[in-house]
Structure 1
Amino acid sequence: MRNTTVAFRSVIIALGAIIAIMVYLGGCGGGGGGASTGTLKLAITDKPSDDFKHLFISIKEIRVVPAGHENAADNDPALPVLAKFNPGERKIDIMTLPLIQQALGEVVLPVGIYSQIRLVLYPNPNGNQDPVNYLTLQSDPNDTKIPLTTPSSQQSGLKILGPIDVKAGVINAVMIDFDPNTAVVKRGNSNEYNLKPTGIRMIQMANVLEDFGSIIGNVSNAFQHWSSATVSIKRRGTINDTDPIAAGRIFATYTSGKWQAPFSAFVPPSDPNDPESRYKAFINANGFVLYSSAAVRVVKQQATDLGEIVLVPQ
């Protein structure tokens, strides 16, 4: 039977995980170098299941569908490609993702409303070859690979409905929430299973920021032009990140006698019971020395201000 309490708790924690990658990037430019663009970041998570031990999907391509292009073919140039993968490169076991999220990619898009994400899967091979989309059952000690029947996923992609509102100057974080309990359907009394998009939804994370704090600052240089920089936020203390928990690009504009761009990175608050729980901000711009902030604490619903960050030429 499905454990709805655990599933609900999984969704709440997963929401926190995906928000960690959401960065608001102020300034003149959007996520791609102009006020008319923003960056869409996509990740995937899942709810737990008592029935399935493993559930593998092999992703070939991810496309974004602008509103009004719902009937367009997958190869229509009006559908931006968020990511393409070689065979075996993105073979994901959905059942390993409760409480965490796995990034799928990002793409710079014109601002506007996008109605769906299309998740195109590689087809299962014919003959006696192992399937690339399959599940195994908790009740099976032999871990028999049961192929998933996914015809639409190879032809027109699993159509995961939005909408997604891509805004300028923002890394728009979106999570694919995969519920295997409703996305995987057994076919009658047979041992065959269909994969359907009915149990897969998208969550845009802009409405849950009340659970987070932020790190803000203004990057500038009055004497040497810089066009863009990468902002990365990493945890320090009990956890020392190699990869940033939040990252994105900012774009400078010349105002008040200098090239500058503000930023605000949303991250989970520091652990109030751990005095070592802190964050560091790193600013990387071509031609300038890498900036590394002091380790700072972040409080829920409050902004930790790093002040003016003046880039130093190399």
Structure 2
Amino acid sequence: MLSRKIYLILGLFIFLVGLQSCSNNTVNNDTARVQLKLIDAPGDYLEVNVEIVDILFNDSENEGGWKSFELSEGKTYPLMVDLTKLIAGNSLLLTDQIMPAGMLKQIRLVLGENNTLVIDGNENVVHLDTPSAMQSGLKLNIDTELEAGFSYTFILDWDVQKSIVAAGSSNKYNLKPVIKVNTEVNSGAISGSVIQVVDNDEIDQQDISVLLTDGVNEWTTITNEEGKFLFQGIPSGNDIYDLKIEREGFETIELNNISVEVGVITDLGVLELKIIE
């Protein structure tokens, strides 16, 4: 009889654990799903390695305080990230978390001291000095009302070129992160691929510069080894975008009046770079 009671208690415990686990991964009437994705606007560097020691958030459930996001599966703090890998559609899913519905005010990206740089033409690893303010956390304004039952993906677009600052002529560099935040609930994406042809032969299609602008803001990326590029988290609405593709020795490609729809990837197809005669 005693053993039967033990089995009943054990079975109830397993059921409750399973129920709790399910509730932690399912959006319901009181919660929303939040994802953070990291992408990079590329710079002239072979590697830019940053150490993320915490990602915090401030919401309506936590007035005046901060809580840590749980990293996505398989990742732990501190997290080392080479930002130069996050181009041409590559992104890093930092977190995928169920959280209470309500106002998500800010997130804070806390960096460690183990940030490094590898410059093209000099494969020596250079230490990136990180201001103490960045180590206490770079605040990013979100100011988004999370509605129950909905999923939100926030794109953290880290502009590497603007984030690396040379310290005079000392051959030292400072890391001062420049990050734009867009959300996929009010944004879309633009994709395409580039080929360059010389004497009827396709040649290297990697690292071709692609610029997107709305006349005020600019987004930059480069193509991958297949010539593909992708701009994510581009604001939609009445904005019309212009695209420019450039490579030395080739004619510039310019496309105008590109529109973006919410949740839609606008595919520009295959674009051919022609050599300057």
- Under a length normalisation based on structure 1, what TM-score does the superposition of the two structures give? 0.47
Deviation at 1:117, TM superposition (A): 1.7
How far is 1:133 from its partner? 0.9
Maintained 8 Å contact 1:61/1:85 = no
Aligned in 2, Cα 1:168/1:134: closer, same or farther, shift over 3 Å? same
Residues 139 and 185 (structure 1), Cα distance of their counterparts in 2 relative to 1, 3 Å cut: same
- Structure 2: distance between partners of 1:188 and 1:179: 21
Identity percentage over the alignment? 27
Going from structure 1 to structure 2, the CA distance change for 1:31 and 1:171 (only over 3 Å counts) comes to farther
Q: Is the 8 A contact 1:60 1:120 kept in 2?
A: yes
Query: Structure 2 vs 1, CA of residues 192 and 80 (structure 1 numbering), >3 Å: closer, same or farther?
Result: same
Choose from 22, 45, 58 the match for 2:51: 58
| Amino acid aligned to 2:51 | S
For the residues of structure 2 that align with 1:115 and 1:163, how far apart are their CA atoms? Answer: 4
Which of the residues 168, 172, 177 maps onto 1:192? 172
**Alignment gaps of 5+ in structure 1:** 1-28, 124-131, 213-265, 274-314
Note if 1:177 corresponds to 2:166.
no
Partners of 2:168 and 2:269 lie apart in 1 by 52
Alignment of structure 1 residues 163-174 onto 2, 5 Å: 163-174=143-154
1:104 lines up with 2:98 in the alignment? no
Tell me: CA distance 1:165–1:195, structure 2 relative to 1, closer, same or farther (3 Å). Answer: farther
Structure 1 residue 203 corresponds to structure 2 residue 182: yes
1:201-260 CA-partner distances (Å, limit 9, x unpaired): 111111235989xxxxxxxxxxxxxxxxxxxxxxxxxxxxxxxxxxxxxxxxxxxxxxxx
Q: AA paired with 1:49?
A: G
Q: Which has the higher strand share?
A: 2
State which structure, 1 or 2, has the greater radius of gyration over its C-alpha atoms.
Answer: 2
Q: 1:95 aligns with which of 84, 98, 109?
A: 84
Query: Partner letter of residue 141 of structure 2?
Result: L
Aligned counterparts of 1:94 and 1:45: Cα–Cα separation in 2: 7
Which of residues 11, 30, 38 in structure 2 aligns to 1:36? 30
Structure 1 residue aligned with 2:222 = none
Flag structure 2 segments of 5+ consecutive residues without an equivalent: 1-22, 192-262, 271-277
Which residue in 1 is equivalent to 2:111?
121
- Secondary structure of the residue aligned to 1:152 is helix
1:56 partner letter: N
Residues 1:153 and 2:142 aligned together: no
**Runs of 4+ displaced beyond 6 Å:** 67-70, 269-273
166 and 183 in structure 1: CA distance in 2 versus 1, 3 angstrom threshold: farther
Q: Which amino acid aligns with 1:204?
A: T
Q: CA deviation at 1:33?
A: 4.5
| 2:105 partner SS | strand
**Equivalent residues of 2:52, 2:111 under 8 A apart:** yes
Distance 1:98 1:272, change over 3 A: closer
1:121 counterpart letter in structure 2: L
Kindly report the root-mean-square deviation, in angstroms, between the aligned alpha carbons of the 2 structures: 3.4
Rounded to whole Å, the distance in 1 between the matches of 2:189 and 2:76 is 35
Cα distance change on mapping 1:40 and 1:33 into 2, 3 Å:
closer
CA deviations over 1:127-159 (Å, ceiling 9, x no partner): xxxxx311111131xx121111222333x2222
Query: Does the CA contact (< 8 Å) of 1:134 and 1:146 recur in 2?
Result: yes
Q: Which amino acid in structure 2 is aligned with residue 134 of structure 1?
A: T
Matches within 5 A, 1:1-314: 32-50=26-44, 52-66=45-59, 76=65, 78-83=66-71, 85-87=76-78, 90-99=79-88, 100-123=90-113, 132-140=114-122, 143-150=123-130, 151-154=132-135, 156-197=136-177, 199-208=178-187
1:68 to 1:41, Cα distance in 2 relative to 1, 3 A: closer
Give the aligned length: 172
